[in-house]
Structures are given as C-alpha cells and as structure tokens.
Structure 1
Amino acid sequence: MKWLKEIWGWVGSFAIAFVFAVLIGIFVFQPYKVDGHSMDPTLHDRERVYVSKLPHTFSYVPNYGDIVIIDSRVDRDRTFKDDFMGNPLFLLITGKTDDQVFYVKRLIGKPGDTIEIKSHQVYRNGQLLDEPYIKEAMNAPDGKWTVPAKHIFVMGDNRNNSRDSREIGFIPLDHLMGKKIL
C-alpha cells in the first residue's frame, strides 16, 4: 500500500509539472524554429528563437522593428484550441508539427499606419525607414497600404524572399503570437 501512495505522489507531481509547463507555453514563453531564409541576414534557417507570448496574451502591439512570430492563417479566426494545439509539449507528445503556419517577421506597421513601397524603399506615414537589417535592395513593385484597426503589417528582412503582409495581407492582432526576446 505504501508503494501505491509513492507512485500516486509521483504521478501527481508529473501532472502538476505538465500543466504548469503547458500554461507557460501558452501564455508566457515559447521556443520557435526559423524555417527558411525570409529573415536573412538577421536570423538563419533552423535557428531557434525564444518568444515572449505576452503581446498575444495581453493583446498589445510590440514596437516598430521588433521581430515577431505570426500565425499566417489570416483568413480564419484563432481560438484557444489553436494556442493549446501549438504548445511545444503537445506537439512533442502527439508527434504533430505546426505545418509551417508560424512565420518570423519584422513589425513594420501598426494600426492606422500607411505603409508605402516606392523606388524599392519602404515608407511609414511618409517617412523613409532606416533599415540596416535588410539583406539587399528590394525588387518589389510600388504599393501602398493603410493598416486597419486591430491589425499589423509585417515584412521579412530578406525582402526578395519573404512571404509577408505584401502577399498574405494584414495580420490580426490575435494572430501575433509574440515577440522575439532571445
């Protein structure tokens, strides 16, 4: 009988630790892996980044120029189930992957901003952005976007090899998973 109590104590401890780890992964802190070259030269393919989930948890917008993680499925609403299923512990246990839906990008525009590309350069609200982090001159057609309320505009640092707001559209704030901290 004593050994049964011992086993039950261990099971309870592991269960509490598991719940605690899942909650931290959903609401506070989560690792992500860079997949591709859209953030070269700042971040490289297969590099691991650690992300503060607080912008997602408390629905606030990080600063201009911050590196953020987004859910690229902007054509659908996110639910708590998405947050739970995207938790690294859940993915590890089930053997599932994130299906490459999470993108690492740089925050360029906040709600109400006007983003314009002209002569291969990016302007925010009429001001040319100083972007020492981009890989090379951008070969993109001119365009102009006004960021709607509760959305952001993101771009990769490797502008010629990046699937970002120019292609997938504005990112709803609930699709902003967090910002890079390490």
Structure 2
Amino acid sequence: MVLLKFAKEWIGTIAIAFVLSMIIGIFVIQPYKVDGHSMDPTLRDGQRLFVSKLSHTFSYYPNYGDIVIIDSRVDRNRSFMDDVKDNPIFQLFHNTTDRVFYVKRVIGKPGDVLELRDHEVYRNGEKLDEPYIQEAMELSTEESWTVPDGHIFVMGDNRNHSEDSRAIGFIPLDHVIGKKVM
C-alpha cells in the first residue's frame, strides 16, 4: 500500500513536470542548436543557444538586428500543433526530421525597401552598418524588395553562404519562432 502511494506521487510529479516543460517550451523559452555556417562568425555550427518565444506567443515583431529562429517553410501556414511538435520534449517521442529551422538576422520589417547594391545592404535608402559581416557580399545583380505587412526580411551574417529571404522570400510573422537571448 505504501509503495502504491509512493508510485502515485512520483507519477503525479513527473506528469506535472512534463506539462510544465511543454508549456515553457511552447510559449516562453526553448533551446536550439545552430546547424550550418550561415551565421558565421556570429554563431558557430553546433553552438547551442536559448530562444525567447514571447514574440511568437504574443505576435510582435522582432527588432532590426535581432537574431531569430524561423520556420523556413514559408509556403504553408503554421498551426498550434506545429508549436507543440517543435518542443524538444515532444521530439523525444516523435521523429520530426521534416522541420527546417534557420537562424538569421532581421534586416527588414513591413514597409521597408531593401536594396542590394555595391556589395552592401540598404534599408530605405540608407546603407546598413553591419560590423558582424566579415567579407563583401557577392552580387550577380542588384536587387530590391519591399517588405509586405505581416512579414519580415532576414539574412545570414555569412551572406555568401546563406539561404535566407533572398532565396526563400519574406518570412510571415507566425514563422518567427523566437529571438536569441543567450
């Protein structure tokens, strides 16, 4: 009888811990691992970081220069179940290798006109000061974009080796999973 009571207490404690970790991971903060070199030299391949998910939870825009995690599948809508499946606790029990998350820097917000010219990025006619860039951006042609409502424009710091908004397009606000905090 004592053993049964002890087991029930432990099962209850583990269940509460599981639910709390899911809630925290879905709505507040989540760990991520950098995969690739698109953010060199700022972030290294394999580096671990924590991401605040409050901007995703409350649907507000990140600031210029913020490093964000995005869901690169911009051609589909995200749902609450995507947030549940993205949680590391859920991933312990399910194979979610179809997820494609990128770590990028916010360059443009709605209404911004972004231009690539002379190997530099211009926002609304002003050249961006980007001390985190180590080499000149290779350009085959000069390009220009106007960021639509409800979207952002992101780029990797390693501009010559980054699949970002130049390739995948504008990022819907609900595809911004969170902002790097550590």
TM class by smaller structure:
over 0.9
- Are 1:114 and 2:113 counterparts? yes
Would you say the 8 A contact 2:69–2:104 is kept in 1? yes
Q: Counterparts of 1:28-107 in structure 2 under 5 Å?
A: 28-94=28-94, 96-99=95-98, 101-107=100-106
Instruction: Tell me which residue corresponds to 1:17.
Output: 17
Paired residue type of 1:143: E
Q: CA deviation at 1:53?
A: 0.3
Q: Which runs of 4+ in 1 moved over 6 A?
A: none
Shift of 1:25: 0.3
Identify unmatched segments of 5+ residues in structure 2.
none
Matched with 1:129 is 128
Q: Is the 8 A contact 1:34 1:43 kept in 2?
A: yes
- 1:2 to partner: Cα distance: 2.5
Identity, % of aligned positions: 67
Instruction: Give the Å deviation of 1:111.
Output: 0.8
Assess if the C-alpha contact under 8 Å between 1:86 and 1:98 holds in 2. no
One-letter identity of the residue aligned with 1:168: I
Q: Secondary structure at the match of 2:37?
A: coil
The size of the alignment, in residue pairs, is: 181
Q: Does 1:179 align with 2:179?
A: yes
TM-score between the two structures when normalised by the length of structure 2: 0.97
Root mean square deviation, CA, Å: 1.0
- What 5-or-longer segments of structure 1 have no aligned partner? none
CA drift of 1:100 comes to: 5.2
